[in-house]
Chains A and B, each alone.
Chain A
Amino acid sequence: MALTQERVEQRLRERFPTVSIERLTGPAMRDWTLVVPGDSLVEVCTFLRDDPELEFAMLSWMGGVDCLPRVPRFETVYNLLSLSNSLRFTLKVRLPEENPRVPTVTGVWPTANWHERETYDFYGIEFTGHPDLTRILLPEDWIGWPLRKDSPLGYEEVAFTHNSPNREVPRPALKKLAPKKVKYRAQ
């Protein structure tokens, strides 16, 4: 019988009866998503990876979300893939606004290294135990966490005459650059 996501949740609840696991449901929640607390994240992930029935051997991706008006503000999302069962599963961890910290899963899946660096780069979420938590996509000396909802997009205003009063007036038609006798090679 093929493995289903319901079975995965059932196994998880059996194995971790004391951990508060919450299933997110909604009219358009298209993936099976469970919210787990940050402290038990590494244990849950190790179980999901090593259990012979579940075998979630690959961490497909990991990212962060900023849900600004909501408390807790941040979330980290982990999408797991079981190659042998062709099944996907999503885990989420909710993090508070001040000092968002979550243990790293690089010990479970080494691929999480760059994903966590990227999440740190964008949101400022710290991953305790990460071997090299530095900025990855933005310049090393960038200040700020650009993907947070209170960071601006940072665009440059398009210069129209109404919002740039000191703009230089365009000059009349420039003299032609090339004298008439210059020919294209093709001719």
Chain B
Amino acid sequence: MADPRETNPFRTLAPAPAAAPDPGLVQPRTEEENIREEIEKGILFTKVESVVHWAVNNARANSIWPLSFGLACCAIEMMAIAGPRFDVSRFGAEVYRGSPRQADLMIVAGRVSIKMAPVIRQLYEQMPDPKWVIAMGACSSCGGVFNNYAILQGVDKIVPVDVYIPGCPPRPEGLLYGILKLQEKILASKPELGPFPAKRRKGAA
């Protein structure tokens, strides 16, 4: 009977050892053994996943498209960062989109009145994932100077906020720092790839 190892077309790489090895003698590792060990450890797959995450996160962080959504005075400082002195183009975020369907980032710049709150919620829901919200200024973070019947005390009552920027209004450098912090947050997060993410963020619809 022929040796099945000779005729089996699916024989594995490493041939069977010819004779029982001498227990005292340490056999040198062959090339194939090394490769197999590496493959079995599975390092290659982990590297691809982390590369993909790194690439996706960097792409998202360095090309945030804000929604042009200025409410009040902070909106003017937001316009100022689009201006020549505090250039936000260097961070990739100068493309202010008019439509929420095309935007990643909603910078709630200004005081949120009770009449405007359902509109903000609707705009937030119209934005596709992944989306982030920056509450710019004191009024959108916590109500700010105005604590009365007409102003919502903080936009985080209706949308989940990622970065709060204090100031009244915050200097454009402050807003840029907030955008950089958001970039850090995006780079450190686990991106949801694919159309049906497994877990929803707390507070999102």
Do any beta carbons of A and B sit within 8 angstroms of each other in the complex? yes
Interface residues of A (CB under 8 A from B): 138-139, 146, 151-156, 158, 177-179, 182, 184-186
- A153 B148 Cβ-Cβ under 8 A: yes
Bound complex: CA of A152 vs CA of B147, how far in Å? Answer: 12
Report how many A-B pairs have Cβ atoms within 8 Å. Answer: 39
Cβ distance B144 to chain A, nearest Cβ, rounded Å: 12
Bound complex: CA of A146 vs CA of B185, how far in Å? Answer: 42
Q: Is B188 an interface residue (CB 8 A)?
A: yes
Q: Which residue of A lies closest to B187 (CB)?
A: A182
Interface residues of B (CB under 8 A from A): 62, 90-91, 114-115, 143, 147-150, 153, 180, 183-185, 187-188
- A177 B184 Cβ-Cβ under 8 A: yes
Cβ distance A107 to chain B, nearest Cβ, rounded Å: 30
- A185 B143 Cβ-Cβ under 8 A: no
Q: Which residue of B lies closest to A144 (CB)?
A: B149
Cβ distance A50 to chain B, nearest Cβ, rounded Å: 39
Residues of chain A with a CB closer than 8 A to B148's CB: 153-155
Cβ distance B138 to chain A, nearest Cβ, rounded Å: 13
- B147 A156 Cβ-Cβ under 8 A: yes
A-B pairs, 10 with minimum CB distance: A154-B149, A155-B147, A178-B184, A178-B188, A139-B115, A156-B153, A182-B187, A153-B148, A177-B188, A154-B148
Residues of chain A with a CB closer than 8 A to B187's CB: 178, 182
Bound complex: CA of A158 vs CA of B148, how far in Å? Answer: 12
Contacts A139-B115, A156-B143 known; A182 to B188 CB distance under 8 Å? yes
Bound complex: CA of A184 vs CA of B150, how far in Å? Answer: 40
Bound complex: CA of A151 vs CA of B150, how far in Å? Answer: 13
Q: 14 A-B Cβ contacts within 8 A? A: A138-B114, A138-B150, A139-B115, A146-B149, A146-B150, A154-B148, A156-B143, A156-B153, A177-B184, A178-B185, A178-B187, A182-B187, A184-B180, A186-B90
Cβ distance A116 to chain B, nearest Cβ, rounded Å: 20
